[in-house]
Structure 1
Amino acid sequence: MAGGHGPGTSYAGFHPHPPSRFHVYLAKALGASMWFFIFYRARQDGARVLGWRHAWEGHHGDGHDEHGGGHH
């Protein structure tokens, strides 16, 4: 893990307990799911977020626009 500090290391008198194996795996699973979600959303909306496309480009809708005109 980061830092390589053993269980006998203290930080200005503070002696933290090492995390349990469950918490280590839980942290890895939550971190991985966060990155998968970020990459998924980047694939879906990345061009819009970066300003390469406008939000309304490529949106075809369902034929019911605000002005009642349907498809143009």
Structure 2
Amino acid sequence: MAGFHPHMPATRYSVVAKTLGASMWFWVMYKAKEEGPVVLGLRHPWDGHGHGHGHGHAAPTGEHH
């Protein structure tokens, strides 16, 4: 019978494809967790993300951070 009959890919290509695909979805889900409310309009980007600046103290007078 005539037609297109593709060969199965080598195992290493299947493993690499699955690894890259999983990495992509982990990244997408991480970014959705971090930035999802902003993208959906539930939070403004300038509202912060729930924690401080990390300084632990106020800036001394005369210095601007």
Same fold flag (TM > 0.5): yes
TM-score for both structures, normalised by structure 1: 0.62
Cα distance, 1:58 vs structure 2:
1.7
RMSD: 2.7
Match of 2:3 in 1: 13
Q: Post-superposition shift, 1:46?
A: 0.8
Structure 1 residue runs without a partner (length 5+): 1-9, 62-69
CA distance in 2 between partners of 1:47 and 1:24 (Å): 35
TM-score of the pair, normalised by structure 2: 0.67
Deviations 1:8-59 (A, max 9, x none): xx8x611101011001101110110001100111111011011100111127
Structure having the larger proportion of residues in helix: 2
Once the two structures are superposed, the pairs formed by residues 1-72 of structure 1 within 5 Å of their partners are 13-58=3-48
How many residue pairs were aligned?
54
Which runs of structure 1 show a deviation greater than 3 angstroms over 4 or more consecutive aligned residues? none
